[in-house]
Amino acid sequence: MAALLALVGLAACAPQVPRAQFYGGPAAPLFAGGPQAPAQAPVARVAVLLPMSGPQAALGPAMLNAATMALFESGARGVELVPRDTTGSSGGASEAVRSALAEGARVVVGPLTGSETTAAAGQARAAGVPVIAFTNDVEQAGNGVWAAGLTPSQQVRRLLVSAQAAGIRRMGLAGPDGPFTRQLANALRNASREAGMSPPVIVTYPGSASRPQAAGQVVAQAGTEAIGLLILGESGAQAREMAAALAAAGVGAPGTRLGGPALWAGDASLASEPALAGALIPGPDPGARAAFEARYEAAFGTRPPRLAATAYDATSAALRSVRPFDPTTPAALPVGEPLQGAEGAFRLLPNGQVQRALAVYALTSGAEPQMVEPPLMPGAAGS
């Protein structure tokens, strides 16, 4: 608590960020603090594609606030943000990136979803302009597009490092059929092979399947070799039901520990299921997140949603890629460099993926998840 109060105090002393506003017209820049250059001076432009209307409109203003905060905290001059509304649709994203590129944007931040990214990426690639999208869909990554969201692969690999440190030699995954479970499964197979671990047990089932029957499949496929850590690709009531079914089938503590995706951190009901007590989940650096939230709240008067951190990080990386007062030089993203983001350190990789320093938390009944392992960047000692 004392540390958090200190962070709030520091935030209060920081330069105040003006509330971000959205401008749809072509001449609507957001400049960093300090004396502005004359209106006719050339500036480098960073496009920010956001859902300011449509089904995800509630997220747009907060993400624009975070992008604006990144601009002001960078202290950059000669750079402007060019916000554009995607309407939360593929067609809107295509029009938004077209408009931003026509205004001379040298790098694109956003859009939010995988389908919007697909729609925007083609025009950006044709123009030689890199894209740092907010999506966690790794299938969008590569060939000039970076997926800045917290991906299933990042989460699996952090849990695998934790399992290795505990002496676990075999992991497993159980989840309903779908893109998220497929990405978890592919990541677990690849990471297990690279780590020299036994091939993982992978069990997928229809979303409407009986969870006790699915738990029986896990037992059958596991055989005699223990599964040290079993990741559930479920959420909400389905995660609780699956955990209880696994416990009834004899899968659980002390031989097998359960784990889950980062989104479990926002669902306090999960820890009420006895079978999920102590389940491991990956998550951000708590100190970095607390500091970001304090600065954001001091500037905008409200706590940021989780995705605001992604907008901050993507904008921070984009700002590093352009030359101040230079609207023509192609962007050069800081690929491979460790960067400090809203939720801890991160690094852009050449293949379009993003590495993040993640901590490990344990679900705790009646309390917030408790950090049990500190943030660790892949490739660092012990990772």
pLDDT digits (tens, 9 = 90+) for 313-359: 999 999 999 999 999 999 999 999 999 999 999 999 999 999 999 99
* pTM as predicted: 0.87
* In the predicted structure, residue 3 carries a pLDDT above the cut 70: no
Is there a contact between 100 and 84 (Cβ–Cβ < 8 Å)?
yes
Closest CA to 211 of 201, 200, 219: 219
- Is 381 part of a structural domain of the chain? no
97 and 29: one domain?
yes
- Amino acid (1-letter code) at residue 228: G
3-state secondary structure of 79: strand
Class of residue 275 by CB neighbours under 10 A (exposed 0-12, middle 13-18, buried 19+):
buried
3-state secondary structure of 169: coil
Instruction: Note the pLDDT of residue 12.
Output: 35
Dist. CA 105–CA 272, nearest whole Å: 49
| Position 16 confidence tier, pLDDT thresholds 50, 70, 90 | very low
Segment 171-196 mean pLDDT: 96
Dist. CA 100–CA 92, nearest whole Å: 12
- Is 77 part of a structural domain of the chain? yes
234 and 121: one domain?
no
46 and 109: one domain?
yes
Cα 155 from chain centroid (whole Å): 10
* In the predicted structure, residue 51 carries a pLDDT above the cut 60: yes
Instruction: Note the pLDDT of residue 26.
Output: 36
- Is 187 part of a structural domain of the chain? yes
Domain of residue 41: give its range.
2-149+286-358
| Position 27 confidence tier, pLDDT thresholds 50, 70, 90 | very low
* In the predicted structure, residue 234 carries a pLDDT above the cut 50: yes
pLDDT digit string (tens) for 191-233?
999 999 999 999 999 999 999 999 999 999 998 888 999 999 9
CATH number, domain with residue 184: 3.40.50.2300
pLDDT digit string (tens) for 56-91?
999 999 999 999 999 999 999 999 999 999 999 999
274 and 160: one domain?
yes
257 and 314: one domain?
no
Sheet holding 280-283, edge to edge: 201-205, 171-176, 229-232, 257-259, 280-283, 358-362, 370-376
| Position 254 confidence tier, pLDDT thresholds 50, 70, 90 | confident
54 and 138: one domain?
yes
47 and 122: one domain?
yes
As a whole number of Å, the CA-based R_g of the chain is 22
Alpha helices in 262-324 (DSSP H): 286-300, 306-319
Is there a contact between 183 and 152 (Cβ–Cβ < 8 Å)?
yes
Instruction: Note the pLDDT of residue 379.
Output: 67
Closest CA to 125 of 137, 142, 139: 142
Closest CA to 62 of 19, 97, 30: 19
243 and 372: one domain?
yes
Bin 290: left if φ > 0, else alpha if -120 < ψ < 50, else beta: alpha
* In the predicted structure, residue 40 carries a pLDDT above the cut 80: no
176 and 209: one domain?
yes
- Is 215 part of a structural domain of the chain? yes
Phi, psi of 16 (to 5 degrees): -80, 135
- Is 86 part of a structural domain of the chain? yes
Percent of the chain scoring above 70 in pLDDT:
88
* In the predicted structure, residue 30 carries a pLDDT above the cut 90: no
- Is 383 part of a structural domain of the chain? no
* In the predicted structure, residue 187 carries a pLDDT above the cut 80: yes
Domain count, the chain: 2
55 and 115: one domain?
yes
* In the predicted structure, residue 122 carries a pLDDT above the cut 70: yes
Dist. CA 375–CA 95, nearest whole Å: 39
- Is 382 part of a structural domain of the chain? no
Is there a contact between 320 and 298 (Cβ–Cβ < 8 Å)?
no
* In the predicted structure, residue 382 carries a pLDDT above the cut 50: no
Torsion sign (Cα): 135, 138, 140, 144: positive
Segment 152-170 mean pLDDT: 96
Closest CA to 296 of 19, 59, 22, 80: 19
301 and 260: one domain?
no
Q: Report the DSSP pairing between strands 280-283 and 358-362.
A: antiparallel
Give the number of C-alpha atoms closer than 13 A to the C-alpha of residue 104, restricted to the C-beta side.
Answer: 17
127 and 177: one domain?
no
